[in-house]
Amino acid sequence: QNDILKEYFARGTYIYPPKPGLRLAVDLIRFAAERVPRWYPISISGYHIREAGADAVQELAYTFADAVEYLKGALAAGLEIDRFAPRLSFFFNAHNDLFEEAAKFRAARRIWHGIMTEKFGAKEPRSAQLRFHAQTAGSTLTAAGFETNAVRVALQALAAVLGGAQSVHTNSRDEALGLPTEESVRLALRTQQVIAFESGVTSTADPLGGSFYIERLTDEIVRRVEEELDNIERRGGALACIESGYFAEGIAASAYAHQRAVETGGRKVVGVNCFPDPEQGNVELLKVNPELGRERREKLARYRSGRKEGPLAEALAELRNAAEEEGAPLMEPIVDCIRAGGTVGEISGALREVFGDFDER
């Protein structure tokens, strides 16, 4: 994905502090624009922000605020906006409220177009087009009555299609219990295929356009997201909001309000706080072969024992030197390390020596 910023307040899979993390992400955008211009170097993700507990407005606002940081970083690196912006993509969450989600996706396209044309002056039409993938909401899956999750997933996928997603991932019904079984994965795939080939919703672009309710809801989401984006800008932008804890606090407040509504019965969750199912019997779960971990470690050891250490040591030293120099390219020395036989752990370890580890406390 290469979207490191959301990790600091939504998912937590980071190593380095935010500024070096942002530097790495932007440098990959620079590298791709120069060396592999038809490749998409980043998928800016609202999915994990929503999964952490954000509401629909926060999902869009925080995601687009992150996107603005990447845009500013790429411009500061000397790239022209229309050289790299057509290859930016997004990843959003498809949640339970069918109409709100469809309106959210419609609003997202309008907001992104305004950001690109009005804020950054993009001239190439493709720079202002919102390309996005949507995945159904893992956080809505329930362990109790897990079969009902298939219905939730179908509605969420439908919302994504009605909202104009370019691609969709449907979660499996048993993912609240563990990794999905082959049967559950097949049902998730068939859900996509029925929507795509039997429902008729793909026969026209924007099938909900013109509906009074959808248009009003779209306008309302646009207004609220743009207000929050202005608020984030006044606070210094996404990086400042990450460092101050503003994003994390906003998500925590929304997550708490949601959970309180579930626990008090204000928000209905079928099979959890209403319409309970009979006691579930034994459920078939996917079992992972415990030997896989040992096999992978042995394979890695064989790989490392068969390479020349001298060229790798030199390449890692060059990477550390580049990391110490503010603004120096990082992707080229990273590629050199890979060509010398370096592993992901060794390369990230070399950068850790310079950047350090991030402690959110």
Residue 134 backbone phi and psi in degrees, to 5: -125, 140
Same domain, 184 and 295: no
Q: What does 173-234 look like in DSSP terms, one character per residue?
A: TTTTTSSPPHHHHHHHHHHHHHHHHTS-GGGSSSTTTT-HHHHHHHHHHHHHHHHHHHHHHH
**With 0-12 CB in 10 A as exposed, 13-18 as middle and 19+ as buried, what is 81?**
middle
User: Do 54 and 251 touch, CB atoms closer than 8 A?
Assistant: yes
User: Which amino acid would we find at residue 155?
Assistant: L
Same domain, 258 and 316: no
Same domain, 79 and 200: yes
- Of 120 and 283, the one with more pLDDT: 120
Inform me whether the pLDDT recorded for 303 exceeds 80.
yes
- Whether residue 245 lies inside any domain: the answer is yes
Structure pTM?
0.95
Same domain, 243 and 328: no
pLDDT at 162: 97
Which pair of structure tokens corresponds to residue 211?
Answer: 């509906």
- Whether residue 272 lies inside any domain: the answer is no
Nearest to 157 by CA among 203, 216, 92: 92
Residue whose pair of structure tokens reads 């070399």 in the numeric block: 350
Domain boundary among 249, 264, 279: 264
pLDDT at 283: 83
- Whether residue 279 lies inside any domain: the answer is no
Same domain, 296 and 247: no
- Whether residue 285 lies inside any domain: the answer is no
Same domain, 32 and 100: yes
Same domain, 207 and 324: no
Residue whose pair of structure tokens reads 């992901």 in the numeric block: 344
- Whether residue 218 lies inside any domain: the answer is yes
Percentage of the chain with pLDDT > 70? Answer: 99
Integer Cα distance of 81 and 322 in angstroms: 25
As for how many domains the chain has, the answer is: 2
Which residues constitute the domain of residue 248? 5-264
- Whether residue 286 lies inside any domain: the answer is no
Mean pLDDT taken over the chain:
96
- Whether residue 276 lies inside any domain: the answer is no
User: Do 133 and 239 touch, CB atoms closer than 8 A?
Assistant: no
Mean pLDDT in residue range 166-185? 96
pLDDT in tens, 246-294: 999 999 999 999 999 999 999 999 999 999 888 776 788 888 898 999 9
Which pair of structure tokens corresponds to residue 133?
Answer: 């993938």
Same domain, 212 and 325: no
Same domain, 69 and 166: yes
pLDDT in tens, 81-93: 999 999 999 999 9
Q: Which helix (H) or strand (E) holds 335?
A: helix 331-339
pLDDT at 359: 85
Percentage of the chain with pLDDT > 90? Answer: 95
Residue whose pair of structure tokens reads 């503003």 in the numeric block: 246
Same domain, 259 and 300: no
Q: How many helices (H) and strands (E) does the chain have?
A: 14, 4
Same domain, 190 and 332: no
Helices 56-76, 212-234: inter-axial angle, 10-degree rounding: 50
- Whether residue 282 lies inside any domain: the answer is no
Same domain, 224 and 161: yes
> CATH number for the domain including 19?
3.20.20.240
Integer Cα distance of 183 and 305 in angstroms: 41
pLDDT in tens, 198-237: 999 999 999 999 999 999 999 999 999 999 999 999 999 9
Helices 344-355, 309-324: inter-axial angle, 10-degree rounding: 30
